[in-house]
Amino acid sequence: MGIYIQTVWLSGLLIEGIILVRSVLGRSLAKYPFFYLYIASVFASSTALYVIGIVKPLEHGFYWPKQYVTLFLGCGVIFEVSRHVFAQRVTLDRIARWTMLVIFGAIFLSVAIQAFVLPDWNVTANTADLERDLRIAQAIGLMTILLLTGYYGIGIGKNIKGMILGFGIYVGASVFSLTLRLFVGPRFNPAFGVIQNTAYLVALSVWMVALWSYEPEPTEKPPSSSGGGYQLLADRTQEILGSINDHLDRTVPR
Amino acid sequence: MIQLIISLLVGVALLASLYFFVRRSKPSAEGSAQQLREARQTLDSLQFGLLPNDLVHRIFAKEDLEYVVSSAPADVQSLFLSERKDIALGWVRRVRGSILELMRFHRGHARLYAQLSAATETRLALNFASLLALCRFLQIAVYLRGPYAAPGMVRTVAATAGRVCNISEQSLQFLKVKELDPLNNTPSSHGASV
């Protein structure tokens, strides 16, 4: 293990510890249970891996199980982010959740099909493939949330903003590094370690700053009934759009 | 190779999304009297300023071109065509801006509702996109072929503009909600007038 990786690793453990302590002191533990479960699991598994790395340097059997546990908890974090961001918007939350469920479902279906159809295929031999696919699913889940919040201009609080940013950096770096490792091969392993660990340290730093204290999500007052319901708004907008469209369509030189 | 490209594209798209996410400005308080008033002004400008028959007819009036061609030297004709083209382009640009404003208003208000219709919102988003693309196409067409390129264009513009204004008038009713009332003059209560 290089000095750089070791330094990053120990710094990561320190920051994870700080985040967990702050979650108790800042009373945000109960607000984001999945996120803190994710951090706690990474903290525990990273500590265990570090100790194993010292005692038995060639023992790598623990790495992939740890990756899968944190990967699934990471998916839970995205669901938690969606729940908080769209707390007042049932439909948008449903869209984000369904998008993620469909993508995860498609990945697991493809794994099941490969396992069934290809006799030589087994999940333990294709762990990097599966991890990359799940990271892509996480990336699409995050992008769905970012797209919907950007399109509707939904305000996001400091805590969730930090979670999205940190997680996004790590997932983005993972997608790149896992993909390149699969295509470049073992030659890419040293760079892979540096990218993964650095990205995770950056993510942890963002989380530490953003989650130092609890800040509730901004709430917006629902519109009064005097303005008519959503359907009226949508119908009116559609009507204006249709008329302008018709108008411009006939104006275009033919 | 396709897997590699798709994976890298997803990675790039995520990082680009994060970049815009970080740069995103704080959302304004939609539904405020100020917002409603701005939306009303935008739609008024679309209805009374940009789409009326007279204006559209004037911008694309072929009689003007015929008059200039018959009675002015070549350099004046050229100047006339150039200026009329600029006006037509400016008109399309402003219509496009108003559509963008309308889109912003709709999104800003729709987000306040817990229950949206995903189908309606998708349809509206596609309509906005196609309308904006149409405006762009119109800009390109006017830029390349000039405002007099299409025979019969003025007639169709004039005919449809009136209908648009009528529909827009009805459509604007949803902005006349109680939130606007405090903006109206009520000298007895505060003595100010907007």
Same domain (yes/no): A126, A235: no
Q: Which residues of A touch B142 (CB under 8 A)?
A: 253
pLDDT in tens, A135-191: 899 999 999 999 999 888 888 889 999 999 999 999 999 999 988 888 888 888 888
Q: Say what the pLDDT of residue B170 is.
A: 42
Q: Strand, helix or coil at A106?
A: helix
Mean pLDDT of B26-46: 62
The partner residue sitting opposite B110, judged by closest CB among A132, A152, A228, is A152
3-state secondary structure of A51: helix
Tell if the CB–CB gap between B114 and A240 is shorter than 8 Å: no
Instruction: Out of A186-200, B16-30, B34-48, pick the least confident.
Output: B34-48
- Contact state of B116 with A147 under an 8 Å Cβ cutoff: no
pLDDT at A1: 56
Query: Is the same domain home to A158 and A230?
Result: no
Averaged pLDDT score across all residues of chain A: 83
Residues 6+ apart with CB under 8 A from A116: none
Confidence label for B181 from pLDDT (cuts 50, 70 and 90): very low
Report yes or no on B188 lying in a domain: no
CA angle A18, A20, A25 (to 5 degrees): 90
Least confident among A27-41, A185-199, B121-135: B121-135
Residue A140 sits in the same domain as residue A253: no
**Do B111 and B75 contact (CB within 8 A), yes or no?**
no
Q: Is the pLDDT of residue A89 over 70?
A: yes
A106 touching chain B per CB within 8 A: no
- Same domain flag for A214 and A253: no
SS3 A135: helix
| pLDDT category of residue A247 using cuts at 50, 70 and 90 | low
Sort out which chain A residues have CB atoms less than 8 A from B143's CB and list them: none
Regarding whether A90 and A155 lie in a shared domain, the answer is: yes
Q: Which two tokens stand for residue B82?
A: 């150039």
Q: Return the amino acid letter for A47.
A: T
Q: Which helix (H) or strand (E) holds A165?
A: helix A158-184
Q: Which domain holds residue A16?
A: 3-220
Number of domains in chain B: 1
pLDDT at A14: 93
Q: What is the mean pLDDT of residues A237-242?
A: 70
Residue A64 burial (10 A CB sphere; 0-12, 13-18, 19+) = middle
Residue A223: which of B4, B113, B145 has the nearest Cβ? Answer: B113
Q: pLDDT tens digit string along B83-108?
A: 888 888 888 788 788 778 877 877 77
SS3 labels along B22-37: HHCCCCCCCCCHHHHH
On whether both A249 and A169 belong to a single domain, the answer is: no
Structure tokens at B68: 């200039």
pLDDT of residue B106: 77
Q: Are residues A140 and A177 in the same domain?
A: yes
Are the CB atoms for B161 and B53 separated by under 8 Å?
yes
More confident residue, A247 or B161: A247
Is residue B4 one of the residues assigned to a domain?
A: no
Query: Is B15 part of a structural domain of the chain?
Result: no
Amino acid at B28: S
Closest residue in chain A to residue B141, using alpha carbons only: A253
Q: How far apart are CA A6 and CA A244, in angstroms?
A: 62
Name the helix (H) or strand (E) containing A20: helix A3-25
A107 lies in the same domain as A194: yes
User: Number of folded domains in chain A?
Assistant: 2
Judge if A58 and A143 occupy the same domain. yes
Q: Please say whether the beta carbons of A208 and A15 come within 8 A.
A: yes
| B168 belongs to a structural domain | yes
| Structural domain contains residue B163 | yes
> Angle A63-85/A33-55 helices, nearest 10 degrees?
160
Per residue in A19-45, pLDDT tens?
Answer: 999 999 988 888 999 999 999 999 998
Mean predicted confidence (pLDDT) in A46-75: 76
A96 plus A209 within the same structural domain: yes
Query: Nearest CB to B14: which of A92, A139, A251?
Result: A139
CATH number at residue B47: 1.20.120
Rg (CA), chain B: 22
Whether the per-residue pLDDT at A79 is higher than 70: the answer is yes
* pLDDT exceeds cutoff 90 at B26: no
Residue A242 neighbours by CB distance under 10 Å = 15
Q: Are residues B137 and A153, on separate chains, in Cβ contact within 8 Å?
A: no
CATH assignment of the domain containing A118: 1.20.1070
Q: pLDDT-derived band of residue B149, with 50, 70 and 90 as boundaries?
A: low
Tell me if A244 and B110 make a contact (CB, 8 A cut-off).
Answer: no
Using CB atoms and an 8 Å cut-off, which of residues 200-239 of chain A contact chain B?
A: 220-224, 226-234, 236-239
Q: Is the pLDDT of residue B194 over 60?
A: no
**A114 and A226 inside one domain:** no
List, in sequence order, the alpha helices (H) in A26-89.
Answer: 33-55, 63-85
Structural domain boundaries enclosing B59: 31-178
pTM exceeds 0.80, yes or no = no
> Are residues A248 and A131 part of one domain?
no
Cβ-Cβ contacts under 8 Å, B22 against chain A: 165
